[in-house]
Structure 1
């Protein structure tokens, strides 16, 4: 396929994609709108995996769509211009000459984030012509291409850990002619050669912010990343700004979605406990805490840190929170004012405690992160100053659990996807 392939056909699909984003109120920036209309996604995403297996399957069954094959073309075009993540690389594989059709086993090691999230991230950063842009973990290069189209040629660079993926993205970006560069390296080190950067965007989650990212941020610059814990259920989005005098301000907010974690992090999952929870939901007991709403992001973010090791089963009929490593869970109901608990860990008591602390702190929806650090370099989070403020320390960058051997690659970047599939939205 060449850069001119599918021109009229895909131009209409790009227009429909942009119309959806405008109608939903997601897309508001005129420059990014023009970039979305110009960047030919079919060049950057010439193939896509579709998951065939359901949740909990091992091994996983996939199907590879080849955009150049007439039997795949319509499904592939719908997928790459839709609003879902595009699964792109399995187990760090070479991306040239992939056979279309069924394939079994492995995990996704690269994907293109679903478009509304990409748009929101780039608009939050504030793309503008002439700004220097650094993308950490660009994958197939969709957001990098959009950024380069807005900033102008020679100003956007991506750091990608996987050599196969970096070469593939570099070639396809060259076909588009947007003037973006991709280098192979450890994304946690940023890219000192091109620093300082006005905008830094991390396409994967980190437990704490690498010092190099902060050091390479220009005065007036912005950095956007996901702060990850071991739970995929309650991610946090961190926006860092450096003032003209060099001072750094960082605001952390809970989110309904976030990027998958860096290589080495294995997310917890409630899937393997789902059948046991249905069979033994637990012993009922009274509670004064009604199930907190899903959009109480500031509360659920605090749960992720102050009651670690918990994961929400979003596929359950009522609020269900599992501690997979402790064989424990809490299930809301069956009546108002009742919760069922099971296992040695009283999950609901921990949630009640965090909620009480969150309530005393004024129900914060955002938190400040201090990178000043102590002698040990600990990064600290606080809702405010004062005795009742919610506070915690961010974990170190060292990964808590080794990643599977097949996920290893040059440098560090996004790790393998959890089971099941979509990792840029909430997953079980």
Structure 2
């Protein structure tokens, strides 16, 4: 038995024991698909130096590379949209833009997709191609279409897939538009975060088909949603739980903050809720429903820490700071962001703070809505 085969078997056992891998066809795929082939270009690891996160490359000739390819961890494969491990000597202080998702999450999503033999699947976000290969093993090459916005990432995935004997349909383009040429699909799975489920995904999924996507916002609380497409061209479903997190789709990244408004001018009052409510994942998700395009920034001014929510598009902001044991909010612009947050969170708490798995998502011609049922 080769070293990587033993590692694949060990990974499959670990994922099964963790409850992520639940059926024999997907276990067979994990046991056969060599994840390390999709990481031949290396990956980045965070350095242990203090301060902002710096990244350093781990290449195939680095000790322990092969074993780390078979751990249940996400491995960053691209920085700042263009930089790959071979480009770096030392460390780099930029944000990750592509990764090989942790295998436990990959197979959990594939299990949640509820595929059956003969199903045709659209994957949005090819990434390294590892999840694409698992689907090819399970369903056959002709049943898998994968869209990737980054041509170089797609090209590297294609090379790795070919090396493993797989040849799905790979498309370079905006995954938010799907890929209508191969539609309709029985299943659509998304490996990036999105603010809203695009109408194109619903239109390209057959009635009764499933869309599996992670809904996020610029406050960065996100949840995995499973939606069933209806004959009326709508899609409805629920969140599956687990605090799933992906990098946002590139076209939906938040805009630059630019020059901040004059934060010393605005309407001021005592806040009913402090910014610490946003530290809780579920509460932050509810707040995000109220202000889906707001970004959160911490500032140090006048010797105190201030917490800023700002929606660049509508020019609205809310600044919170603590004064003599009470939270004060100052708001400006067209909308009152913190008023909206307080209203949503207070109503949710009044309804018994239902877990996110009890929320309902609907996508219609009028757009996307997320609601919860009160107790």
Give the TM-score band, short-chain normalised.
0.7 to 0.9
How many positions carry a matched residue from both structures? 340
* Distance change (3 Å), C-alpha of 1:251 and 1:167: same
Q: 1:238: how far off? A: 2.1
- Name the structure 1 match of 2:71: 82
- Indicate whether 1:92 and 2:84 are aligned: no
Cα distance in 2 for partners of 1:293, 1:93 equals 32
- Name the structure 2 match of 1:175: 163
Q: Aligned ranges for residues 205-224 of structure 1 at < 5 Å?
A: 205-224=193-212
Cα distance in 2 for partners of 1:286, 1:381 equals 24
Cα distance in 2 for partners of 1:61, 1:239 equals 35
- Name the structure 2 match of 1:113: 101
User: Normalising by structure 1, what TM-score?
Assistant: 0.68
Cα distance in 2 for partners of 1:33, 1:51 equals 30
- Indicate whether 1:241 and 2:231 are aligned: no
- Name the structure 2 match of 1:409: none
Please tell me whether the aligned partners of residues 278 and 287 of structure 2 are also in contact (alpha carbons under 8 angstroms): no
Q: 1:100: how far off? A: 6.4
- Name the structure 2 match of 1:25: 19
- Indicate whether 1:370 and 2:344 are aligned: no
1:305 to 272, 289, 295: 289
Please tell me whether the aligned partners of residues 199 and 223 of structure 1 are also in contact (alpha carbons under 8 angstroms): yes
Please tell me whether the aligned partners of residues 195 and 252 of structure 2 are also in contact (alpha carbons under 8 angstroms): no
Please tell me whether the aligned partners of residues 194 and 248 of structure 2 are also in contact (alpha carbons under 8 angstroms): yes
- Indicate whether 1:344 and 2:336 are aligned: no
* Structure with bigger RCO (C-alpha 8 Å, 6+ apart): 1
- Indicate whether 1:189 and 2:200 are aligned: no
Please tell me whether the aligned partners of residues 50 and 64 of structure 1 are also in contact (alpha carbons under 8 angstroms): yes
Q: 1:236: how far off? A: 2.6
Cα distance in 2 for partners of 1:99, 1:286 equals 50
Q: 1:125: how far off? A: 0.5
- Unmatched segments (≥5 aa) in structure 2: 256-269, 299-304, 311-317
Q: 1:361: how far off? A: 3.6
Please tell me whether the aligned partners of residues 48 and 65 of structure 1 are also in contact (alpha carbons under 8 angstroms): yes
- Name the structure 2 match of 1:281: none
* Distance change (3 Å), C-alpha of 1:61 and 1:324: same
User: Normalising by structure 2, what TM-score?
Assistant: 0.77
Q: Deviation per CA, 1:264-322, whole angstroms, max 9, x where unpaired?
A: 44569xxxxxxxxxxxxxxx9999xx979957x3x442122225647699xxxxxx995
- Unmatched segments (≥5 aa) in structure 1: 1-6, 269-283, 314-319, 332-337, 391-428
* Distance change (3 Å), C-alpha of 1:322 and 1:120: farther
Determine helix, strand or coil for the equivalent of 2:132: helix
Cα distance in 2 for partners of 1:61, 1:94 equals 13
* Distance change (3 Å), C-alpha of 1:307 and 1:321: farther
Cα distance in 1 for partners of 2:11, 2:131 equals 15
Q: 1:13: how far off? A: 1.5
Cα distance in 1 for partners of 2:279, 2:54 equals 35
- Name the structure 2 match of 1:52: 47
Cα distance in 2 for partners of 1:329, 1:78 equals 47
